[in-house]
Structure 1
Amino acid sequence: MTGPLSGVRVIDLTAALAGPYGTMILADLGADIIKVEPPGGEITRRVGPYPPSVDGQQTLGGYFQSINRGKRSIVLDLKSSHGHAELLDLVRTADVVVENFGPGVVERLNISYEELRRVNPKLVYGSLTGFGAAWSGESPYIDWPAMDITIQAMAGALSITGTEDGKPVKIGPGIGDIFPGTMLTIGVLAALWEMKKTGEGQQIDVSMFDAMLSLCERMVYQYSYTGQVPKPIGNTHPILTPFDVLEVKDGWIAIAATTQLRWEALCHIMEKPELITDPRFRNEGRRVDHRTEIRHILDEWTRDMTRAELREKLGGKVPFGPVNDIRDIFDDPHAWARKMLVEIENPGSDQRAIVAGQPIKFSRSRATVGARAPQLDEHGDALRAEIRSATEVATK
C-alpha cells in the first residue's frame, strides 16, 4: 500500500457498515488493514448484489467489495483459546485495533482495551457502539442495539428530514453508520499522533448517537436560541432562501442563491433586475419572509426549460446543480477525473467492480483505492508467517 499511513498496521475487528467504512478510509490512506473474520466470514459477505459468475466460481458481493477494498483477511475463532492467542500475536505487531461489537462482547471474548494493552501498551484502540461506553459517560441506553435508521431517529435527524407535511424520511445513504465510522477514523488518527509524541496508546469511544447529534448541530443551536422545535421543511432552508429543489422540463435542479451577490446575479440571469430593488426581497431576512413568492417566481422561470438549458444559464454563476441519479454521475466527467469512480478486480467474474473512490487528495502521498476486497482468509497463511517472523526477531 502507498499513502500517508503506509507502515501503520490496523487490526480490524469490525463488521457491517460503520466500522468497516472507517477502516476502509484508513486502508485508502495506506494503512495495512488486517480484517479478522469469524469462521464462515463477516456477515456482509452474504449480502449482494453479486456479479455474474464464471463457471460457478465464488464472487464478492458489492456491499463487501465497496467498504472492504484494500484489506487483508484472516479467519480467527475468537471464542477459542487458539484463536484468542493468535489475535494477541497480531496485536503485538499492530498500531491500532478497531471494533464495533455489541454491548459486553469484548469483555466476554476477553479482547477489551484493558486486556489488549497488556501485550501492546502503545496500542490505539477504537470502539464504536450505539450509545457509548460507561467510562466516557454512561447512557441509559448503553445496552441497546443500534442500527442506522434507529440512530437517525433517536439523534434527531429524522425529525428535520422530510416533507413539509411533517412525515419523517430517512436520509438516503446510511449516514447513521457512515458518519460515526468517519468520526472514529478521525479519533484513531488523533490518538496515533499523540502516541507518536508520548509513546502511550489509549482508547477512543465513539457513540453512533453522539456522532449523529453532532451532525445535526443546526437544530441544537436553533432550539437553544429560539425555543422553537425545528421540523421537516422539505428541500428548503429555515434561515436562507432561495435554497430549494425545482422541477424542470426533464427532471429536477437545485439552486442556492442565498447571499446578496448571488441573489442579484440570479435576478440578472432571469432578466428580472427589478426584483433586486423590490422591498420584499431587498435583503436576506426579507427574502426568508417571502420565500413562497420567490419559489413561485423561480418555478415560473424554470419549469419550461431543461436541465441542460439551465446549466448553461446558471452553471458557474450561482450555486446550481442538476439532481443526478447514478446514471448521470457515471456519465459525468468530474467523477472520473477526480477518481471518485474506481474499477477494481472482481474475482470469479468477468465483470469488473466499480466502487466509490477516496475523496481525500494529497499533493505528495498517494491515497487511493488500493485493491479489491479479500477473499475469506485469503491472507491467513501469509499473516501467520509474518507473525512467526516478527516473534523470532523479538526473541533474539
Structure 2
Amino acid sequence: MGALSNLRVIDLTQVLAGPYCTMLLADMGADVVKIERPGGDLIRSNPPFVESDEEAYGGYFQSVNRGKRSLELDFNDPDDREDFLSLVEEADVVVENYRSGTMEKYDLGYETLKERNPELIYSSIRGFGDPRTGETHRQGQPSFDLIAQALGGVMEITGQEEGPPTKVGPGIGDLFTATLNCIGILAAVNYRHCTGKGQYVDTAMYDAMLSMTERAVYQHSYTGEAPSRRGNSHPTLFPYDAFETRDGHAVIAAFGTNHWNEVCEAMGREDLAAEYPEAADRLEHREELREEIAAWAADLETADLVETLEGRVPVAPVQSTDEIFEDPHVRDREMLVPVEQPGADETVEIAGSPIKMTETPPEPGGRAPLLDEHRGELLEDDEPERTDAETAADD
C-alpha cells in the first residue's frame, strides 16, 4: 500500500509540468488516470527511442508517465464528456495544465465539476495562473519552461559574468512548478480530510520561478541593486565555486572558517588562512584567492583533488551522466529504475523517486501506458463483480 493508495487522480495534463506532478502522486500510490486527447499526449512521439520511432512512445513520455492508466477521450463528443464526468464523480483530484479558459469551453470547468463532486480538488498548472486566484493581463498567453525561466529571473542570474543570460539545463520552469503544485494538492487533501471541503489549487510557472529566485528578490530589496550573473560562484559566500582540474572540474564549498583552514592546509598555504581568517575578508579578496585555489586545482586530477579534501571539506566532482550511471550511491538509493519499453523488446532506465519513506516507500509503478490501454477497466468494466454473499445480503 502506498501513502496515497486511497486517492484517484484524473490527469488531463500533457508534456512535462503536469505529468511530472501526477507522476509524483502515482509514485506514492495514487491511482492516476491519464485522460488523453485524440492521438494522445503531444510528447508521445518525442525521441529518444531505443531502436526506431515505431515504438509506442519515446523516452520523454516514458520518464514522466510511468505507473498511470490511459484513456483517450474527445471533449467535442458529448458521450466522451459524459464518460469524463462519470469518472470525476468518483475522483479525488483533477489536474490539468491547459491555458486558462480551455476547460470552460467544453463546460468542464471547476464550477461544473464541483457540482458533480462537491469534495473535488481541482488543480491547474499554467504559465501565468488562473483568474480565480489572481487575475492578470498575461493569463491566456502560452508559456513553456524557457518563458518562465526568462520572466522569473532565473536566466538573468545564470551563466558566466560576461556571458549572456542562460537557461538552467533541466526544465525547472516545469519541474519546480509541478513539485509545488503537488504540495498544494496534498495540502488540499489534508484540508478536505479535516473539513470535508474540496477547493481549487493553482500554481503558475512564472510565480514558481520568482519563488525559486528568492535570493535575488531579497538582495534587490536589501541593497537596491539588481543581481546578475556570477558564473558558478556565490554572491555572499567564498570559496563556493567550480574549479578546473587536469581532467575535468570539481566544486568546493568551503565558506566556513573551519573548511577554509582545511583547504589552505591541503594547498600548503597556511599563510592564507592566517591572512584571511574572517569570512568578510575572504569575500572582499575573493578574486585573488580564487586564483590561488584555481592554480592549485589545475595541477591535480579531479579524483585526486576530491580525495585530498573529502571528509574535511564539502567537495565533489562535476559528474557526467555516464558517471552518474556508474555511481554506486545512485544504485543503492534506487534512483535508476528499469521499465519495459513497448516495441523495443527490452528495458530502459528512468529516474527513480527521490522521496524515501520507511512505511510506504514510493515506487514507480511500471512503464508508461499505451494510448487508451485501460479503456475497458475504466469504463466498460468499472463495476466490480459482486460475490454471491453480497447479492444475498442485498436480498
TM-score (norm 2): 0.95
Match of 1:221 among 205, 209, 218: 218
Residue 138 of structure 2 aligns to a residue whose secondary structure is coil
Once the two structures are aligned, what percentage of the paired residues are identical? Answer: 45
**d(CA) in 2 for partners of 1:179 and 1:110?**
30
Match in the other structure for 2:344: 349
The residue number in structure 1 matching 2:317 is 322
How many residue pairs end up in the alignment? 389
Q: Does 1:376 align with 2:371?
A: yes
Secondary structure class of the residue paired with 2:243: strand
| Number of the residue aligned with 1:8 | 7
Which whole-Å CA distance do the structure 2 matches of 1:214 and 1:386 have between them? 45
What is residue 388 of structure 2 aligned with on the other side? none
- The alignment status of 1:140 with 2:141, answered yes or no, reads no
After superposition, the C-alpha distances for 1:81-132 in whole angstroms (9 at most, x for unaligned) are 1111000111111100000011210110211111101111111111111111
SS in 2 for 1:126: strand
- In the alignment, which residue of structure 2 is the partner of 1:129? 126
Higher relative contact order (CA 8 A, sep 6+): 1
2: CA distance, partners of 1:246 / 1:389:
62
Give the residue type in structure 2 aligned to 1:328. E
1:302 aligns with one of 285, 297, 302: 297
1:82-161 correspondence to structure 2 within 5 Å: 82-161=79-158
| Between 208-217 and 162-171, the greater mean CA deviation after superposition | 162-171
Structure 2 residue aligned with 1:49: 48
Is 1:208 aligned with 2:185?
no
| Residue identity matched to 1:265 | E
1:124 touches 1:192 (CA, 8 Å); kept in 2?
A: yes
Aligned partner of 1:196 in structure 2 is 193
**Residue 385 of structure 1, CA deviation:** 3.5
CA deviation string 1:59-81 (max 9, x = no partner) = 32100000000100011111211
Aligned to 2:251: 254
Who is 1:269 aligned against? 266
What letter matches 1:134 in structure 2?
P
Match runs of 1:285-296 below 5 Å: 285-296=280-291
Query: 1:348: Cα distance to partner?
Result: 1.7
**8 Å contact 1:50–1:59 — kept in the other structure?**
no
Picking from 350, 361, 372, the partner of 2:356 is 361
Normalised TM-score (structure 1) = 0.95
Unaligned runs of 5+ in 1: none
Equivalent pair of 1:14/1:98 in contact (CA under 8 Å): yes
User: How far apart are the structure 1 equivalents of 2:331 and 2:99?
Assistant: 38
Letter aligned with residue 304 of structure 2: E
In structure 2, C-alpha distance between the alignment counterparts of 1:200 and 1:42, rounded to whole Å: 31
Q: Which amino acid aligns with 1:329?
A: I
> Is 1:178 matched with 2:172?
no
Instruction: Report matched runs for 1:326-337 at 5 Å.
Output: 326-337=321-332
The question of whether the paired residues in 2 share the 8 Å contact of 1:287 and 1:294 is answered with yes
Counterpart Cα distance in 2 of 1:57 and 1:127: 33
Deviation digits for residues 12-44 of structure 1, max 9, x if unmatched?
000110000110110111111000001211101
Paired AA for residue 14 in structure 1: T
Q: Which residue of 2 aligns with 1:234?
A: 231
2:250–2:306 Cα contact (<8 Å) kept: no
| Partner SS, residue 43 of structure 1 | coil
Q: How much has 1:271 moved relative to structure 2?
A: 2.3
SS at match of 2:338: strand
Q: Distance in 1 between matches of 2:384 and 2:28?
A: 26
Query: Which one-letter code corresponds to 2:41 in the other structure?
Result: E
SS of equivalent to 1:384: helix
Tell me how far 1:386 sits from its aligned partner.
4.8
Could you tell me whether the CA contact under 8 Å between 2:46 and 2:57 is conserved in 1?
no
Q: How does 1:20-99 map to 2 (within 5 A)?
A: 20-52=19-51, 58-99=55-96
Contact residue 166 and residue 231 of structure 1 kept, 8 A: no
CA distance in 2, matches of 1:389, 1:89: 16
Gaps of 5+ in 2: 386-390
Q: Quote the Cα distance in structure 1 between the aligned partners of 2:48 and 2:70.
A: 21
1:309-330: CA deviations, max 9, x gaps? 1121112221111111100101
